[in-house]
Structure 1
Amino acid sequence: MLVSEVMTSPALSLPVSATLDDVVELLGGSGISAIPVVDEAGRCVGIVSEADVLRQPLPRDPRAHLWTTSATSGPSPSLDEVMTKDPTCVAPTDDCADVAALFARSGFKSMPVVDDDRLVGVVSRSDILRAMSVSSASLADAVSKAVTSVGMPERTVTVQSGHVVVTPTGDGLDDAVVAVVSTVPGVRSVRLG
């Protein structure tokens, strides 16, 4: 699968001029864990996550302490002060297998998707997991459509939990069919059998 097949697009983003209050409102109300930050030209220049927000001092609740605390006030920090600059980004043409490995190594929950530094989407761990969790019946249908859409004769396939077995026909196209089937979103493995 390619990132472009699973990413969320268009992506929510905030301008560099936004404040921490803007981030809190957007992250708290949207169910996402990070938001790309873009400049005036739409280039991804940073990312701000829940962790970045939680690193900022929160007002203390006097009920939890034996002494009273003074109220905190002041302007909300700008995103430029809070965001992670030069974020790790991926391209729409990147392989989801590579992105999944990057998620596993880094601990990131989501990453901006950029094309020539311009934000075109966001891909998350859950986007990749959702693509992998296609029902066997739906995946068998998608595999059949993919094979016939490139002008190959329909094949007998069995699908179990994303693993596809293609019945060989000996017509010289078996390897090509395997290659086509391996590009279908949700296919975790494919073999002749």
Structure 2
Amino acid sequence: MTAGPLVGVLAVQGDVREHVRALEACGATTRLVRRPAELDDLDGLVLPGGESTTMDRLLRAFDLRDPLREALAGGLAAYGSCAGMILLADRLLDGVVGQQTIGGLDVTVRRNAFGRQVDSFEGDLDVVGLDSPVHAVFIRAPWVEQHGPAVEVLARAHDHPVMVRQGRLLASAFHPELVGDHRIHRLFVDLARS
């Protein structure tokens, strides 16, 4: 049996353990990423859900933002869920003053698009390439307001894209790490392996 791809999980804040469990269930080897050197030799990287403004500040405090940008520009596969989608976006609406993204994904993302914490919700989504709906958990979730021509929309909710792919970058506004259905992680592990 061949070893699975080495997938890092950005471990500065957010749903780190949940992503590690899902990735390992899909056959990936995982590494927590808190320092630039921990990006070396990765096949893929997950940017978890959490609080996007806090993650942005911590990426800069740990000198990780620029090395992450370089790794993505160099072709590293990445998957961002919720706050991770915000971090991967080239453009951000409704961010706090000074908030920055890593970029790489040709999308404009609206932060907290579905509303406040009390507006969080769950629902079943049809995802391109999957034979049955995915149960999706949206927690103060973003949505894609606009996207470039190279971006493929994989799922929609409330008439807005909530899961997209561009090359080796995958992003969802929802949290598949919270529901025990590993199909989204399996898609990403396959992407990291390719």
Q: TM-score, normalised by structure 2?
A: 0.28
Structure number, greater radius of gyration: 1
The structure in which a higher percent of residues are strand is 2
Considering fraction of residues, name the structure with more helix. 1
> When the two structures are superposed, what TM-score results if normalisation uses the length of structure 1?
0.28
